[in-house]
Structure 1
Amino acid sequence: MIEPQQYGQQALQEYLLLDYVQRLETRKYGHRAVHIHLSRLKPFHRRDYHIRVATNTFESYVKLYVGRIFVLTNNDLIFVWKDKSIADVEPAVDTLRYLFRDDPLSQDDSEETGFCTWFNLNTEFQEFLLLCQHLDDRAKKLQKSLNMRSAVQREKDNNTLGPITAENLAELEETIHTADLSEHIRQQPVCVFAHGGSKELHPVFDEFFVSIADLRNALMPNIDLASNRWLFQHMTETLDKRMLNYLCKRTFKTHASSFSINLNLGTLTSKDFDKFDENVRRNWPGNVIIELNQVDLKDFDKFDETVRSKWPGNVIIELNQVDLFSNLETYLSVRDDFHQRGYRILIDNLTVEALSFVDRKRLKADFIKVAWREEMTDNVIRKKYSEMDNLVKNSGRERVILCRCDSPTAIKFGQSLGITLFQGRYIDNMIARQRRAKRDGAKPVKPAAKKPAPR
């Protein structure tokens, strides 16, 4: 038998599960188990809160049915109990199905891809034991990989990242083409607070983007992907194709009438974008907002002819302030033409310092995004930028989006300036609590009928 010293904290639950099941072999009769595949849920349904609620759902059953609950490394749950039938435990599983009812997995009862798998250990003990051995082996390999990575990382300077090269770019792109990138796709709303002092938020649009930091940590933790602008742009074009493929599958949900995506202009003239336009855009009731990473004017006329002319809704072009001011003369020469064609312009990634010389009205931009920083509340900073209120007022309070809001302090600060549009992790959490409260206040819906579980 494997000793627990070979395991780290990550693999401990798999070790305990295997040890427990091995000891059951001579007294397996009367025992049953259920494997709940939470790892198959969409990423936004696999947060720590969801896992805690799912685990707590079984706490009363653990005591009542002399059971054991195991939370695996990948967040799957395995519950083993004695004497009671599978039908006695189905209510707990149905509760979880209801909790995750917005996820397609909750209604999937197939053996290979379904929400859960049931085991009667009277007749399926060997099959269950093989599963536990497989889970144990996988967790052990993962822990070994983590240990090796930690050892390598300790030998290196954590602050030093190697540059991206053509060689490791080719390797990265090959991985991107085959890997499941859904875990690295983020969905974040831009929201407005309801009028009348209400704390209720209303999503204006949802932004879909790939987290480059998470992608780097997962695939190439020692490489600075943005160290070479041209190689980085080439990589983002590959990511564009995967993002469009993800959206074409239409497995996502958005609570706003519009959504935005970050794309390169070259992507907008590709076959991948034509497929997206055919499958998603033409059937979408709201606006699709394109946030352009690079403004390549040679491609713009082709984009306008092939895509924009077909779209009845607004297209917002999001420009990074660095790109804008590096090409200010070009921007000023084409800005009015952009507006005449029906585009709206958003200047992204502004700092407090930049507000003092970015005049939205003179630049004729429709929106600006200001990045929140904790030091904005510092007395010295507030004194230094005491004119910030006037800057926001002059920009148009309803035209300013305060992004990267990670705390209530950010919201209070923005509201003190009259800002109404917010984006960030704290907003994500507020929206999640708001939706949970609405669900809790609604009458529970009876779960859809499904085929009987095996006895």
Structure 2
Amino acid sequence: MTIENEQPLDPSTEILTALDHIKPTASSFKAIMFHTSKFTLFNREPKRIDFALEEATRIFSPIKGLVYKLKNHNLVCIIQRNAVISIERCISQLKRTLPADPILNEGHKKDGFYTVFDLGTQWEDFAEAVHEIENDPIYSSVKKQADGTTTQLITNGINLDTLANIEKILTNSNLLSYLRRQPIYWYDGKDKPRKIASHLFLSMQALQDSLAISDPIMANTWLFKHITTLLDKQTINFLPQLLSHNSIENIHANINLRSIVTPAFHKFLHNYNKDKPLSFCIDIVDYMAHPDVLEFAHDLLGQKNCRIIISSINAAHLAVIKLDKIPANVFKINWSPPIMERKDDLKALIKEIGAYRLILHRCETEQDIQAGLECGIEQFQGFGIDKILKKDTIE
């Protein structure tokens, strides 16, 4: 079986089918993985990746190469070994047609733009690399499930009158009536807990009472995202005032990814003088829905030394997502019995990325804190720390 005898496959969806087709005669082929997902943010825009796909298809078609776009926007080209034109010549031509980018720099001692696989000897390496990208849950259909729209809100039982009333109440309300603050502590089980940051968040109960709606906000993903996105603008406008408070040394603020791409946020960031450490907490479901936006946010916030914290991580997320691959600075894990059943995984994660990049959240008892300490965690958030502090004060 040879590729040229097959019907053309859709480059955006059929790479796994192509692998199945060529596997019996893999030794007859070579493959090139173009690491276009590593382009700078500007060059990673969808239209530019599509342009790269078109150019690669045009350049490799004379040697019957088939080009596919992977879900992370890398490109893959599969070519017969006996191609009449050298692969290197085609790669060089492709480089000349693409916009200037650091990864295309000929001066690199090791070319990071592409990897060539001889499928006769490197089939497993190539197939594993492709499957890892195509089957990664962060590129799955969860994106459609997490990005609420007005239509989806209505479909999920929230009518237009209710939406209009919610927006009216929130627009005319004072953010302070919903805003809460909880400290985050460093604690090693020996020395007294030391406060290292203040986490600002919205009280769902206060919102529920204010909006007077029967449906629990937290039970409706679309409604929750809609409400928190509406309030993000107020939070952004309020941040300069919070940063001026002497009692707050280090702020962690919740935000939706879609709010980071708004003019209001860009205006705030432009005026932010880095006078106090500032971190933004992004829900892991929001990240799973918009991994590309998180990359943009990471690049943008990094310009002002702001950190990204991925929050609301549970045991199910730990089972399928490699946290060390996410472009974030800190990961906030929600304490739960299932999380504690994965102690070995937590210990391995801490060994890999460092305890300073993990916060154990929702630690309500001293026992929760102790369980975290046994895993090697040193940063905690929840009432359990408060109880330890009160105990120390009494003693």
* TM-score in terms of structure 2 length: 0.50
After superposition, the C-alpha distances for 1:239-278 in whole angstroms (9 at most, x for unaligned) are x4xxxxxxxxxxxxxxxxxxxxxxx2x4467xxx2x763x
The correspondence of residues 32-431 of structure 1 with structure 2, limited to 5 A, is 163-172=157-166, 185-193=179-187, 197-198=190-191, 200-216=192-208, 220=212, 222-225=214-217, 232-236=224-228, 240=231, 264=232, 266-267=233-234, 273=237, 277=240, 279-282=241-244, 284=246, 286-296=249-259, 298-299=261-262, 303-312=265-274, 313-332=276-295, 335-377=298-340, 381-382=341-342, 386-431=344-389
SS in 1 for 2:363: coil
Give unpaired runs (5+ residues) of structure 1: 1-161, 241-263, 439-455
- Quote the Cα distance in structure 2 between the aligned partners of 1:430 and 1:363: 33
Query: 1:373 deviation in Å?
Result: 0.6
Query: 1:326 deviation in Å?
Result: 1.7
- Quote the Cα distance in structure 2 between the aligned partners of 1:185 and 1:217: 14
Query: 1:175 deviation in Å?
Result: 5.4
Q: Are residues 236 and 347 of structure 1, via their aligned partners in 2, closer, same or farther at CA, if it must alter by over 3 Å? A: closer
Query: 1:309 deviation in Å?
Result: 3.6
- Amino acid of the structure 2 residue aligned with 1:398: Y
Query: 1:227 deviation in Å?
Result: 6.4
Aligned partners of 1:163 and 1:224 also within 8 Å: no
- Amino acid of the structure 2 residue aligned with 1:424: G
Q: Are residues 400 and 174 of structure 1, via their aligned partners in 2, closer, same or farther at CA, if it must alter by over 3 Å? A: same
Query: 1:413 deviation in Å?
Result: 1.3
Query: Counterpart in 2 of 1:139?
Result: none
- Amino acid of the structure 1 residue aligned with 2:194: H
After superposition, the C-alpha distances for 1:410-432 in whole angstroms (9 at most, x for unaligned) are 11111011100011122233344
- Quote the Cα distance in structure 2 between the aligned partners of 1:328 and 1:276: 25
SS in 2 for 1:412: helix
Q: Are residues 184 and 430 of structure 1, via their aligned partners in 2, closer, same or farther at CA, if it must alter by over 3 Å? A: farther
Aligned partners of 1:163 and 1:228 also within 8 Å: no
- Quote the Cα distance in structure 1 between the aligned partners of 2:314 and 2:206: 24
Query: 1:163 deviation in Å?
Result: 3.5
Query: 1:194 deviation in Å?
Result: 5.7
- Quote the Cα distance in structure 1 between the aligned partners of 2:279 and 2:306: 6
Aligned partners of 1:191 and 1:422 also within 8 Å: yes
- Quote the Cα distance in structure 2 between the aligned partners of 1:193 and 1:165: 47
Q: Are residues 231 and 417 of structure 1, via their aligned partners in 2, closer, same or farther at CA, if it must alter by over 3 Å? A: closer
- Amino acid of the structure 2 residue aligned with 1:167: D
Aligned partners of 1:268 and 1:303 also within 8 Å: no
SS in 2 for 1:206: strand
Query: 1:228 deviation in Å?
Result: 6.2
Aligned partners of 1:402 and 1:422 also within 8 Å: yes
Q: Are residues 432 and 181 of structure 1, via their aligned partners in 2, closer, same or farther at CA, if it must alter by over 3 Å? A: farther
After superposition, the C-alpha distances for 1:395-418 in whole angstroms (9 at most, x for unaligned) are 311211000112222111110111
- Amino acid of the structure 2 residue aligned with 1:191: Y
Q: Are residues 172 and 396 of structure 1, via their aligned partners in 2, closer, same or farther at CA, if it must alter by over 3 Å? A: same
Q: Are residues 276 and 212 of structure 1, via their aligned partners in 2, closer, same or farther at CA, if it must alter by over 3 Å? A: same
Larger Rg belongs to: 1
- Amino acid of the structure 2 residue aligned with 1:164: I
SS in 1 for 2:347: helix
Aligned partners of 2:315 and 2:338 also within 8 Å: no
Aligned partners of 1:372 and 1:405 also within 8 Å: yes
Aligned partners of 2:229 and 2:256 also within 8 Å: no
Give unpaired runs (5+ residues) of structure 2: 1-155
Query: Counterpart in 2 of 1:246?
Result: none
- Amino acid of the structure 2 residue aligned with 1:215: L
Aligned partners of 1:371 and 1:402 also within 8 Å: yes
Q: Are residues 319 and 170 of structure 1, via their aligned partners in 2, closer, same or farther at CA, if it must alter by over 3 Å? A: same
- Amino acid of the structure 2 residue aligned with 1:168: T
- Quote the Cα distance in structure 2 between the aligned partners of 1:294 and 1:183: 23
Aligned partners of 2:307 and 2:328 also within 8 Å: yes
Query: 1:192 deviation in Å?
Result: 1.1
Aligned partners of 2:331 and 2:358 also within 8 Å: yes
- Quote the Cα distance in structure 1 between the aligned partners of 2:311 and 2:268: 26
After superposition, the C-alpha distances for 1:187-214 in whole angstroms (9 at most, x for unaligned) are 311111167x23x211111223232135
Query: 1:294 deviation in Å?
Result: 3.2
- Amino acid of the structure 1 residue aligned with 2:326: L
- Quote the Cα distance in structure 2 between the aligned partners of 1:388 and 1:307: 34
- Amino acid of the structure 2 residue aligned with 1:417: C
Aligned partners of 2:360 and 2:377 also within 8 Å: yes
- Quote the Cα distance in structure 2 between the aligned partners of 1:310 and 1:352: 36
Query: 1:221 deviation in Å?
Result: 5.9
